[in-house]
Structure 1
Amino acid sequence: MMAKILVVDDEADMELLIKQKFRRKIRDNTYEFVFAQNGAEALEKLHDHPDLDIVLTDINMPVMDGLTLLTKLPETNPIIKTVIVSAYGDMENIRTAMNRGAYDFVCKPVDFEDLELTVNKTLQHVTQMRNTLQAIKENNILKMYVDESVLSFMTHQEFENSLLVNESVEATVMFIDICGFTAIAEQVSANEVVNLLNSMFDLMVHEIIEQGGRIDKFLGDAVMAVFRGNYHLDRCVEAALAVRKKLGSFEQKLAGGTVYKPQVSIGINAGDVISGNIGSASLRRLDYTVIGDAVNVAQRLQSMAQPGQIVITNTSCEKIKESFICKPIGELKLKNKEKPVMTYEVLE
């Protein structure tokens, strides 16, 4: 990985010396140097090059000196580290520089072998800081999506041993698709698409969780949810009705003045599913999900549902007909099914 270094010095020959002494590093794309003649110009360079790793700066310069520059760096780039390269190597200047955040101090005339060792040491420190911040960021993102008890569990050896443990369970699977969203996505900006989609997903998720369901995955502009436990089919249908009602009252004004009013098509099916971690254990990329015929049927019912429809099979209808009003749709030919399946639409 190439390191990017800002050299701040008003001496004209300093840039030439740096390019000469580090020519191999520059040629090999190990180092890239950016140059400035004073602290004020250095701040402009930092703004233009936010990926800088190190600053090598003199102390005595016009417009803005190196010690003043040190006080400005934290608000510009808190990760970057500074090495003072100056002829003013007295203890007072060294202490002032260190107190203002300098990482190290190299005296002029410059011993370039010593400077290279100092740069390498500083780069290692910057890399460690970046890695630590990345780990913190990833951990915080993980906490957004994973229960605390699961995070605790993941730190134990049982996690390694249970990655491929599967079970067969009875559950209800629901697929919800936002009708015609692809066409809308082609008309507005990427940010607007994502914000709009996330707003609708938030509404769906609330209703699904309210009925004890679990979001299995987001599939583009669709959601797959799973319900387990007592009355899982009834609770799933309740959630579907709530999602349809909530999305029915949702509207968003888009750029250009268009008002978007979404509709959803929903497929629901109950049955035995296999629940487990599907994916590659060696890559640690597994998706805790459910698979099986019941899942496939639910997805195919959704694909055949019209906007606003909640489609179920006759088997599901028999189980919920005392609690919900259902209307026959008719027999539908589903992929990989020898015989047509009688389907119903849940009205309320």
Structure 2
Amino acid sequence: MVKILVVDDEPDLEVLIKQKFRKKIRANEFEFLFALNGRIALEHLDANPDVDMILSDINMPEMDGLTLLSKVKEKYSLLKTVIISAYGDMENIRVAMNLGAFDFITKPVDFQDLEITIDKTIQYVTQIKSNLKAIRENNILKMYVDENVLSFMGKRSAEHDILENETIEGAVAFIDLCGFTAISENENPNVVVGLLNEYFDLMVKEIIDERGSIDKFIGDAVMAVYQGEDYLARAVRTAISIRDKMNELPEFSRESGFRPKVSIGINSGEMVSGNIGSISLKRLDYTVIGDTVNVAARLQSQANPGQILVLEKYKDQIADSFQFEKVGVFTLKNKAKPVTVYEVIG
């Protein structure tokens, strides 16, 4: 239903409008509110925030239509006003338009013209509201979906294309918040979620600063992916920065003894990037998969609090930029051959 506020000090206009639009009023297509001046109109607007448009005269007692226009422009920026006035000279039209009037109709009113103008105005307002809704939804979506996902989806025009994937070269890092489960068992859930979000926020800022992307949050861990120039070095710099900043944070509470630390595993190489899931269930997860990802997860699981672990063969690629210390030779889960592992010191 379209809700229209009519502002005019002539009582006859209310009778005429109700008569001319009676069919649409009965069909619940239009609802009209009436005010004798601008002051009363503002009261109606405060009480009826769902008003779609205003039809207003210019010459009225207490508050005229031009003053009302200026007030509406300040307080109700999306609301559109059509001026209906006997003062149809160019000066009044220009003043009204400069104050934000959407259109101008002269008296005596041609109701056929008025109906066309109302429809045109409502179409415009509806489009504006639709655009704003799309923007809000898109901004909300960005809180849940990585920027790379939106970019990927924008390139796909049909459902069957969504499941296409590509092989990429990059680095992946698993960053786990050590010992956080103990807090979850003893603290209020709201406190736990708030604290976890604070820690995640710290991590995410460092990841974004090094042009990494958040693949997903997994419980109290973050999975980040790096592509492009110097992707491995950028992943390692992120890990060092997160580790050092987490080490500087104070103890959560004396009772819990929890001091935030992270264990991190980083690996580099080829990965498959795309949407994984069920098209029939309409549940997909945009992610990277492959041996490179699995090894990074295994390295993180082997890391102690405060440790950043990488494989020897990738450590050699960035040996000039970072300090390393050999940890040992590990046999990672589901890997046939043992691997030599190094810790990133700084």
Task: Give TM-score scaled by structure 2 length.
Answer: 0.63
Corresponding residue of 2:70 = 71
**Contact 1:55–1:83 at 8 Å: present in 2 too?**
yes
RMSD: 5.3
Distance 2:234 2:107 in 1: 76
Distance between the aligned counterparts of 1:131 and 1:69, measured in 2? 26
Paired position in structure 2 for 1:119? 118
Contact 1:175-1:225 at 8 Å conserved across structures: yes
Q: Does 1:346 align with 2:343?
A: yes
Secondary structure of the structure 2 residue equivalent to 1:103: strand
Q: Which residue of 2 aligns with 1:325?
A: 325
Cα deviation digits, residues 208-238 of structure 1 (max 9, x gap): x1xxx63253537654333467986566344
Structure 2 CA distance for partners of 1:3 and 1:309, relative to 1, 3 Å? farther
Aligned equivalents of 1:8 and 1:191: distance in 2?
A: 49
- The alpha carbon displacement at 1:82 in A equals 0.9
SS at match of 1:217: strand
Q: Which residue of 2 aligns with 1:308?
A: 305
Worse-matched range after superposition: 187-196 or 286-295: 187-196
Mapped to 2, the partners of 1:243 and 1:24 lie a distance apart of: 66
3-state SS, counterpart of residue 324 of structure 2 = coil
User: Residues 190-269 of structure 1: matches in 2 within 5 Å?
Assistant: 197-206=200-209, 209=210, 214-219=212-217, 222-227=221-226, 236-250=235-249, 262-269=260-267
Q: Supply the distance in 2 between the matched residues of 1:190 and 1:25 (Cα, whole angstroms).
A: 51
Amino acid at match of 2:272: I
Distance 1:310 1:329, change over 3 A: farther
Give the whole-Å Cα distance in 2 for the aligned partners of 1:192 and 1:9.
57
Contact 1:174 1:267 in 2 (8 A): yes
The verdict on how the C-alpha distance between 1:37 and 1:270 changes in structure 2, with shifts beyond 3 A counting, is: same
Query: Aligned-pair distance for 1:41?
Result: 3.2
- The number of equivalent residue pairs is 313
Alignment pair present for 1:80 and 2:79: yes
Q: CA deviation at 1:295?
A: 1.4
Tell me the SS of whatever aligns to 1:78.
coil
Q: How does 1:150-189 map to 2 (within 5 A)?
A: 166-167=166-167, 169=169, 171-178=170-177, 180=180, 186-187=189-190
Cα pair distance change 1:72/1:217, threshold 3 Å: same
Map of 1:11-50 to 2, 5 A cutoff?
18=17, 21-22=20-21, 25=24, 30-47=29-46, 49-50=48-49
Identical amino acids, percent of aligned pairs: 45
Cα distance in 2 for residues equivalent to 1:341 and 1:20: 88
Q: What TM-score, normalized to structure 1?
A: 0.63
Q: 1:35 and 1:45 mapped to 2: Cα distance?
A: 9
Once the two structures are superposed, what CA deviation does each residue of 1:220-269 show, in whole Å capped at 9, x if it has no partner?
Answer: 7654333467986566344322211022224699xxxxxx9643342323
Contact 1:310 1:345 in 2 (8 A): no
Equivalent residue number for residue 158 of structure 1: none
Deviations 1:80-111 (A, max 9, x none): 2211234x345365555345432223355655
Alignment of 1:87-126 (within 5 A): 88-91=86-89, 93-94=92-93, 96-107=95-106, 110-126=109-125
Contact between 2:213 and 2:226, CA under 8 Å: does it hold in 1? no
- Give the superposition deviation at 1:54: 1.5
CA contact (8 A) 2:212 2:224 kept: yes
**Structure 1 gap segments, 5+ residues each:** 156-160, 254-259
1:253-292 equivalences in 2 (<5 Å) = 262-275=260-273, 290-292=288-290
Mark the CA change 1:241 to 1:26 in structure 2 (over 3 Å): closer, same or farther.
Answer: farther
The answer to whether the 8 A contact 1:215-1:223 is kept is: no
SS of the counterpart of 1:105? strand
AA partner of residue 167 (structure 1): T
- Over 3 Å counting, the alpha-carbon distance change for 1:228 and 1:70 in structure 2 is closer
2:269, 2:245 → 1: CA distance? Answer: 27
Task: Tell me if the contact between 2:265 and 2:303 (Cα under 8 Å) persists in the aligned partners.
Answer: no
Distance in structure 1 (CA, Å) of the matches to 2:113 and 2:195? 52
- Distance, in Å, in 1 between the alignment partners of 2:228 and 2:116 is 63
